[in-house]
Structure 1
Amino acid sequence: MTLRFPPLLSVLLSLLLIGPAVAERPNAARIMSDQTIAFLRVADTQDFIAKMEQTSVGKAANDPQMKPFVNGIWQTLKDAAADAEERSGLKLEELLAIPQGELAASVVAMQEGNPGVLIFCELGEDKRVVNRVIEIVENLATNNGALIENEEYKEIEITHIMGNNGPLAICIHDGVLLLSNRIEAVEDVLENWSGKREDSLASDDRFSTIVSASRGTKDEPAQLLWYVNPIDGLRALTRNQPGGSYVMGFLPVLGLDGVKAVGGSQILATEEFDSINHLHVMLERPRTGVIEMIAMKNASTEPERWVPEDVTNYITSNWEVEKTYSALEKLYDSIFGDGKLAEDIDRRINQRANIDFKKEIIDNLEGKFTLVQWYEPPARINSQATFVAAKVKDRAAMQKTLDSIVEALPRLKNVVEKRNFGDATFYQANVGNDVIPDDVPEDRRRRMEARRELRPEPCFGLVGDFLFFADRPGIVEHITMTYGGDAPRLADDLSFKLVLNKLLAHAGERKVAMVSFARPEESLRMIYELVQADTTRDFIGRRAEQNDFFKSLQGNLDANPLPDFGVISKYLAPSGSIMIDDETGLHLIGFNLKRDSE
């Protein structure tokens, strides 16, 4: 089922969610119903903007050497909005300045019909801009044949627009703008304006659990909070829809009805961190079906000796492989019949690949899984290389299994080549390049060459005691040289040790199921080089010939070039995260360190 909202409602939502904010009345979560299935709240948009400016991103954007470039990008956006500004008489800055306090958006399940989308936006004392926006909306609706009625609810006026694109209810009460596609949602909020309702979202155990789990490390309140009730949301969307009851009835079979809620928060510019982000997945106990397959155990926090120091992202976790496989087998067999998973694996994998999948692969996995990402020079759109690895108990046995699979599958054997590089033994896909005819037009030739550069070169094999899959051989060679040589390793990196110590201190005695580490500086370096690359400038230049936006962008980039990378990199610090598996579910907390760039 598709929800249809007036285009102008979507535009207003986009504008409101990025504007500036200070609220004294009961917050939106205390006013809105516990039938809310999705919720996003910025507690104070002015504080959010101020905090954002204190983060590394805000400081970098306000750096005197970066200001000309940032202003140039802003001018490009201004130029793109010039026609709309002229027609409406409203400047982009005026629209972005509408929110002056609490800002919230929610999706609420209604007794009948589609869910209601509600925007709650606190305004400042000067309401001329928002009144002008409402006037423009009404005029456009009238010109499109919409019916407009002014109704009263508890002596509060609501403008109800009924047009071809759906209804829109607009109300300003106590300095708060309310917008919704369902007038009933606006009336419900007005009915409970005091915030004393017993069935409020704030009183819902699922919501309160996520809020309490999503505060700062020193109990700092969140600037931004979000919440989703996926099962009730799916129920509301599929109600009275063909097959809706079948979908809802199948969820318990899969165990997905055990996902009670998902939510999180963002806390900016704390005493210790640049930002803190939470993600909480609240799960029913005992876990069943798909959820039971999440069988994580304490993760080793020591990076493998083959992980290079210059990785951009590192994630490692430990799983109880046998428990996960058993849960998969139980779920599969409950749907298709006893013994069906073993039967299908034997028919579709074992007989074709000449292996025993359960014995030779599953039973040979120790349970440690690691993902590494690295930017392979030179900078290009697909510079990021990915390496996924799983620790094995018996390398020789796994190598024999891989060789057997390749030998038994002619189509695979014909497209891969076995290679040895240092300690690594792996198979690399042969990516053939078709000859480009001499008479191909230059534009098409460039497109064909660009597609070649973006094409991955998959590899799979073994390095050390790890079975791996990579999307290109460059990262395999880089990792292998680190494993067998004296190249700097992540395990010895001081910034990694600092992040890890802070993560483990936050975890305390709780079970750490996953650890990750990232270097925003390295990720940004690739983007930085890509922006300045000749290929990027050529791309913008070709489109500038026919597109005003790219023409403006090209002019501003030429007039305001990026400063040296060091101007930005001095603001960036490493980040990390941990996943904790506890009695309420899975909780991910991540943070960016604060770097003193003064």
Structure 2
Amino acid sequence: MRFRPTLFSLLLALLAATSSIAAEPNAAQIMSDQTVVFLRIADTQDYVKKLDQTAIGRAASDPQMQPFVNGIWQTLKQSVADAEERSGISLEELLSIPQGELAIGVVAMQEGNPGVVILCELGEDTRVTEKVLDLLETVATNDGATIERNKFKNSEITLIRGKNGPLAVCIHEHTLLASNRIEALEDMLDHWDGKREDSLAADDRFRTIVSSSRGTKDEPAQMIWYLNPMETLRTIVKNQSGGGYIMAFMPVLGLDGVKAVGGSTILAAEDFDTISHFHVMLERPRTGIIEIIQMKNASTEPEAWVPDDITNYMTMNWDVDKSYNAVEKLYDNILGEDKFEEDIKNRINQPTGIDFKTEIIDNLEGKFTLVQWYEPPARINSQATLFAAKVKDRAAMQRTLDHLVDALPRLKNLVERRNFGDATFFQLQVANGPIPDDISDERRKRMETRRSLRPLPCFGLIGDFVFFADRPGIVEHIALTLGGDTPRLADDLSFKLTMNRLLEQAGERKVAMVSFSRPEEGLRMFYDLIQADSTRNFIKGQAEENNFFSNLEGNLNANPLPEFKVISKYLAPQGSIMIDDETGLHMIQFSLKRDSD
């Protein structure tokens, strides 16, 4: 038997697979403050229960959805049937392993590779885990690995030394501990009481992340994650040539000012379906790249051209002048005084005949908006995206765009000027060569599919915004909204409700960005895509040579999706805000709770 993956990666994969569906001892109190990456689910069983209470969980439990869900589960079961038979361990048994806290961390070590550690509470019955560990030992021994047994703190540590590195495992007080560094595992056992002074839980950066990532009514998070980016990078490059130069360059870029990144997930809160936090802890004063982040208070009022059937909407206000000056300062610090202005002049102004600072930067008001919309009919690339920036003088910006197209012959030959309602834009023209008559039908279909999936970028002006879009369909849809009676997002009651709830969370803090999304619109495209002939033909073609697709085809035919309204009734709008405060950038995202009745 050939042993390809590392023993540790195999065990990690088995446990990580369960973490997506999911306190004593508290892993953050046991692990040291040298932990640079950390993920913790407080209670996997509670996580599963909470997940069942969310919109997705309730939709999956709907009687009309059960046949389809069971069909997908059977597809997975059939795909791993051979592995189950060889190992004697079923998929259900693997998924039952975590019974409480589950944590994964990466610890910076004084020498050698970092220690990746796993802590997984097993409950009273540890037989399945013991069976998995016996299997790992058998596989490793067959591949020439050596097995050592060591006693530490009244626990037996099994150390497997294989060709691809060591793996230390033990079961201590009904908790599985595993690591690629036995020193990291012993350190956890040495501080099992959770009273260590140098714990991750006592680290100011970690505490800031956790304290800012609780629920709207101070509910604790079911899952938290944490990353110390600079220490993670230092751990990765410390034994590599040039690692010292990389770390020395970080302060020049100002990236050493990113102290920590982390967040949380809270499920089935009293008023919300889900709440997510994302926090970037920044040092003050901000320098380098971090200084370029110059957000201002963002308006929550959507532009008049935003339709109400969008899938995603985001807008932010930015101090363009301050950001431009920060870019110039950083560029000159690296390449020399006045180098930024010189390169703008030589690389942009002279080739195009425009003044980039005066005609572009100074004409931007600072409001930037992103809109996404699913363009019918459903296909893999149905999602269209438009990015827009508000300008102070539309006529001046139009003259600048016209001049740019005329001044760049290669661009002029590739685009066509178009007008649609209030939108004036340039669209990329893609010349398709003839498809040879003597090619096979299969190759012809592939060529036609590739052509249909190619974007058709366009750029121009609509209202007081200069925009770039990946296809003209979204431009036309937006133009019809601006100039006609198409329902607008600004008038949508669910949007207003979501924004009101978000602003309640912000309080007096500066809101730098707001976003809104409709998950049911994305689901509608998914429904249409699954049932499209092109998708079924693809699955059918793959089923001839692939057991997974063969099983999938059979189960989809036997258990078709119910009507769209069966699941869409559970989904509610989602929104988010970004707050720029003294600790850094903090994003709060939530989805409302909808009564399916």
TM-score range, shorter-chain basis?
A: over 0.9
The equivalent residue for 1:533 is: 532
Amino acid across the alignment from 1:199: D
- 1:545 counterpart residue number: 544
Task: Give 1:346's aligned residue.
Answer: 345
Q: Where in structure 1 do 4 or more consecutive aligned residues deviate above 4 Å?
A: none
- 1:124, CA displacement in angstroms? 1.5
* Aligned residue number for residue 12 of structure 1: 14
Question: Does structure 1 residue 306 correspond to structure 2 residue 305?
Answer: yes
Q: Does the 8 A contact of 1:95 with 1:129 survive in 2?
A: yes
1:5 is displaced (CA, Å) by 6.4
Indicate how the Cα distance of structure 1 residues 198 and 464 shifts in structure 2: closer, same or farther if over 3 A, else same. Answer: same
Once the two structures are superposed, the pairs formed by residues 470-489 of structure 1 within 5 Å of their partners are 470-489=469-488
SS in 1 for 2:552: helix
**Letter of the 1:476 counterpart:** V
Q: Distance in 2 between matches of 1:61 and 1:514?
A: 33
Looking at structure 1, the residues matched to 414 and 233 of structure 2 have their Cα atoms a distance apart, in angstroms, of 44
CA–CA distance in structure 2, aligned partners of residues 509 and 10 of structure 1:
43
Kept in 1: contact 2:317–2:368 (CA 8 A): yes
In structure 2, C-alpha distance between the alignment counterparts of 1:151 and 1:7, rounded to whole Å: 22
Q: Distance in 2 between matches of 1:147 and 1:402?
A: 69
Is this contact kept in 2: 1:19–1:99, CA < 8 A? no
The equivalences for 1:264-303 within 5 A come to 264-303=263-302
CA distance in 1, matches of 2:226, 2:380: 34
Show the counterpart of 2:393: 394
Q: Distance in 2 between matches of 1:528 and 1:341?
A: 50
DSSP-derived class of the 1:461 partner: strand
Letter in 1 for 2:240: Q
* CA distance in structure 2 between the aligned counterparts of 1:175 and 1:386, rounded to whole angstroms: 50
Structure 1 match to 2:39: 40
RMSD: 1.0
CA distance in 2, matches of 1:300, 1:330: 29
> Which residue of structure 2 aligns with residue 432 of structure 1?
431
Contact map agreement 1:19 1:98 (CA 8 A) in 2: no
Distance 1:110 1:168 in 2: 16
Q: Provide the rounded CA distance (Å) in 2 between the counterparts of 1:16 and 1:27.
A: 19
* Bigger mean CA offset, 428-437 vs 96-105: 428-437
Partners of 1:168 and 1:528 in 2: CA distance: 44
Q: CA deviation at 1:7?
A: 3.6
**Distance across 1 between alignment mates of 2:12 and 2:445:** 38
- SS for the counterpart of 2:101 is strand
Alignment partner, residue 225 of structure 1:
224
Residue 594 (str. 1) matches residue 593 (str. 2)? yes
Determine the structure 1 residue equivalent to 2:375. Answer: 376
Please give the per-residue CA displacement for 1:58-94, whole angstroms capped at 9, x wherever unaligned.
0000100000000000000001100110001111000
2:257 counterpart letter in structure 1: G
Check if 1:205 corresponds to 2:204: yes
Rounded Cα–Cα distance in structure 2 between residues aligned with 1:574 and 1:46: 27
Q: Does 1:361 align with 2:360?
A: yes
SS of structure 2 residue aligned to 1:304: coil
Aligned to 1:241: 240
* 2: CA distance, partners of 1:156 / 1:89: 27
Aligned counterparts of 2:117 and 2:595: Cα–Cα separation in 1:
41
Match of 2:491 in 1: 492
Counterpart of 1:235 in 2: which secondary structure?
A: helix
Shift of residue 155, structure 1, vs aligned partner = 2.7
| Unaligned 5+ runs, structure 1 | none
For this pair of structures, how many residues does the alignment match? 593
Cα contact 1:16–1:103 (8 A) shared by 2: no
Whether contact under 8 Å (1:29, 1:202) holds in the other structure is yes
Question: SS in structure 2 opposite 1:444?
Answer: helix
Deviation readout 1:553-580 (Å, 9 max, x if unpaired): 0000000000000001000000000000
**Match for 2:410: what amino acid?**
R
CA shift, 1:4, in A, is: 6.9
Aligned residue identity for 2:204: D
2:197 is paired with a residue whose SS is coil
Counterpart in 1 of 2:179? 180
Normalised to the residue count of structure 2, the TM-score between the two structures is 0.98
CA distance in 2 between counterparts of 1:408 and 1:382 reads 32
The aligned counterpart of 1:404 is: 403
- Aligned residues of 2:265 and 2:277 also touching (Cα < 8 A): yes
What whole-Å deviation, never above 9, does each CA across 1:201-233 have from its counterpart, x for those lacking one? 000000000000000000000000000000011
CA contact (8 A) 2:7 2:140 kept: no
Distance 2:285 2:486 in 1: 46
| Secondary structure of 2:100's aligned partner | strand
Q: State the one-letter code of the partner of 2:512.
A: A
> Structure 2: which amino acid aligns with 1:71?
N
Equivalent pair of 2:255/2:288 in contact (CA under 8 Å) = yes
| One-letter amino acid matched to 2:144 | G
Show CA shifts across 1:501-558 (max 9, x none): 0011111110000000000000110011000100000000000011111000000000
Partner Cα separation in structure 1 for residue 87 and residue 486 of structure 2: 60
Partner deviation per Cα, 1:273-327 (whole Å, 9 max, x = no partner): 0000000000000000000000000001110000001101000000000000000
Q: Residue 353 of structure 1: CA displacement?
A: 1.1
Report the equivalent of 2:567.
568
Question: Could you say if the C-alpha distance between residues 488 and 337 of structure 1 is closer, same or farther in structure 2, counting changes exceeding 3 Å?
Answer: same
1:118/1:178 contact within 8 Å kept: yes
Letter in 2 for 1:94: E
Aligned identity (percent) is 70
| Runs (5+) with no aligned partner, structure 2 | none
- Kept in 2, the 8 Å contact 1:9–1:168? The answer is no
